[in-house]
């Protein structure tokens, strides 16, 4: 069973990966399943797949994840996203891999459908609050600064755009080397709310390209599965109970779900927050107000067709809160989302779920 819940290795970011070579999964059922596990993106990962040829893809996984981080990691100064954030208005992509372009476009889609609740341009606000360097100082927060930063964080097409031959009908622009453009040079992007899910999809799609139909890819608690597990059953995923300051696996599961050809992500503020003078400040910033969210939602688990969507909408729902999220899901059946919410009511943890979630819950 896989444990779900964002896991972070504190204080350090691993810009390289330690792999245990893919070994046969000794479960007494099927010798064709292999398992690979290690560290990536400052957290742990586990990849299990069924392959009659018993191919070891550890080197390929390593290469994919390193290339992914070279484009999208905020912790690597030489990454594409870091260069774009720290540079001027333009960043030329050349004929590079499409990870950052795909992430940009997927984030745009979620930004638009959530009316800006999911907003990768929120970087300056999160940085101002001190959540990136764990140096939050409530006393220094200035309402006037917040107001000025709110004018900087639009992720609309008029603020950020990607120009290349696939996104432009202008013949002249088609002759230009693909580039990202930002209107305000001080604007910055943070794809942490979607990139990890996208990296899961990238690995899953790689396995699909190799003709593999049964697999589970998990990175930092974001999961995507296909087919059946080694026992010939649904993949069983355990979701952490949102207990304040707890470690992954420390408490009983909040729920266990059975998945096949689905992705799952969980977001929460029960591990990443600050307290001062009895007030709890969540790491989740509302891009409309500029302040940490103050509702009672502790965690949300989203099931979708792909991990990037599950990751992004879990992030968005942590901003919306329970009621608005449930309305959003009901109004957008085309997104094929289901979700499970845990919230605090007078010190008690209660739960509610969207329509269709019960189809996945095992217990």
Q: For the domain that residue 114 is a member of, what is the CATH number?
A: 1.10.3980.10
What is residue 165's predicted lDDT score, i.e. its pLDDT? 45
Is 4 within a domain?
Answer: no
Is the overall model pTM greater than 0.75, yes or no? Answer: yes
CA separation (Å) from 295 to 45, 123, 225, 285? 31, 21, 32, 12
Q: Highest-confidence range of 28-37, 241-250, 342-351, by mean pLDDT? A: 342-351
What is residue 313's predicted lDDT score, i.e. its pLDDT? 98
Please tell me the total count of domains within the chain.
Answer: 1
What is residue 14's predicted lDDT score, i.e. its pLDDT? 36
Is 149 within a domain?
Answer: yes
- Lowest mean pLDDT across 49-58, 134-143, 192-201: 134-143
What is residue 229's predicted lDDT score, i.e. its pLDDT? 95
Is 159 within a domain?
Answer: yes
Q: Tens of pLDDT along 298-354?
A: 999 999 999 999 999 999 999 999 999 999 999 999 999 999 999 989 888 999 999
Helices first, then strands: H and E counts in the chain: 9, 17
Better-predicted residue by pLDDT, 282 or 173 = 282
Is 139 within a domain?
Answer: yes
Helix (H) or strand (E) holding 216: strand 215-219
In 184-293, which residue ranges form alpha helices assigned H by DSSP? 195-209
d(Cα 265, Cα 272) in Å, to the nearest integer? Answer: 16
**What is the arithmetic mean of pLDDT over 214-222?**
95
Is 237 within a domain?
Answer: no
Is 142 within a domain?
Answer: yes
pLDDT band at 39 (very low <50, low <70, confident <90, very high): confident
Given a cut of 70, whether residue 26 has pLDDT beyond it is: no
Given a cut of 60, whether residue 30 has pLDDT beyond it is: no
Measured in Å, how far apart are the chain's first and last C-alpha atoms?
13
Is 254 within a domain?
Answer: no
CA 160 to chain centroid, in Å, comes to: 21
Q: What is the dihedral of CA 249, 251, 257, 258, to 10 degrees?
A: 50
Is 278 within a domain?
Answer: no
Given a cut of 70, whether residue 281 has pLDDT beyond it is: no
Q: Tens of pLDDT along 250-279?
A: 568 899 999 999 999 999 876 555 555 555
Average pLDDT of every residue of the chain: 84
Given a cut of 70, whether residue 6 has pLDDT beyond it is: no
Domain housing 116: 77-182
């Amino acid at each position: 069973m896989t444990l779900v819940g964002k896991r972070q290795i504190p204080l350090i970011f691993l810009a390289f990966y330690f792999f245990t070579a893919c070994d046969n999964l000794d479960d007494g059922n099927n010798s064709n399943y292999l398992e690979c596990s290690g560290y990536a993106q400052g957290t742990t990962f586990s990849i299990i797949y069924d392959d009659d040829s018993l191919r070891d893809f550890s080197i390929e996984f390593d290469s994919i994840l390193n290339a992914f981080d070279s484009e999208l990691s905020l912790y690597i100064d030489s990454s594409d996203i870091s260069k774009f954030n720290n540079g001027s208005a333009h960043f030329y992509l050349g004929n590079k891999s499409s990870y950052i372009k795909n992430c940009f476009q997927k984030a745009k889609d979620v930004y638009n459908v959530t009316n800006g609740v999911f907003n990768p341009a929120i970087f300056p606000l999160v940085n101002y609050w001190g959540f990136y360097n764990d140096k939050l100082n409530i006393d220094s927060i200035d309402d006037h600064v917040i107001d000025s930063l709110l004018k900087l964080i639009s992720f609309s097409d008029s603020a950020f755009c990607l120009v290349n031959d696939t996104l432009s009908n202008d013949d002249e622009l088609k002759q230009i080397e693909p580039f990202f453009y930002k209107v305000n040079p001080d604007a910055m992007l943070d794809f942490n709310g979607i990139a990890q899910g996208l990296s899961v999809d990238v690995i899953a799609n790689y396995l699909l390209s190799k003709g593999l139909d049964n697999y589970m890819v998990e990175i930092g608690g974001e999961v995507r599965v296909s087919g059946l597990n080694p026992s010939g059953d649904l993949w069983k995923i355990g979701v952490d109970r949102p207990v304040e300051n707890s470690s992954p696996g420390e408490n009983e599961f909040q729920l266990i779900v059975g998945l096949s050809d689905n992705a799952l992500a969980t977001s929460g503020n029960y591990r990443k927050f600050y307290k001062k003078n009895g007030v709890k400040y969540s790491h989740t910033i509302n891009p409309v107000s500029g302040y940490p969210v103050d509702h009672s939602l502790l965690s949300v688990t989203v099931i979708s067709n792909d991990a990037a969507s599950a990751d992004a909408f879990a992030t968005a729902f942590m901003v919306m809160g329970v009621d608005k999220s449930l309305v959003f899901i009901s109004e957008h059946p085309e997104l094929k989302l289901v979700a499970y919410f845990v919230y605090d009511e007078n010190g008690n943890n209660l739960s509610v779920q969207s329509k269709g979630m019960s189809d996945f819950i095992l217990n």
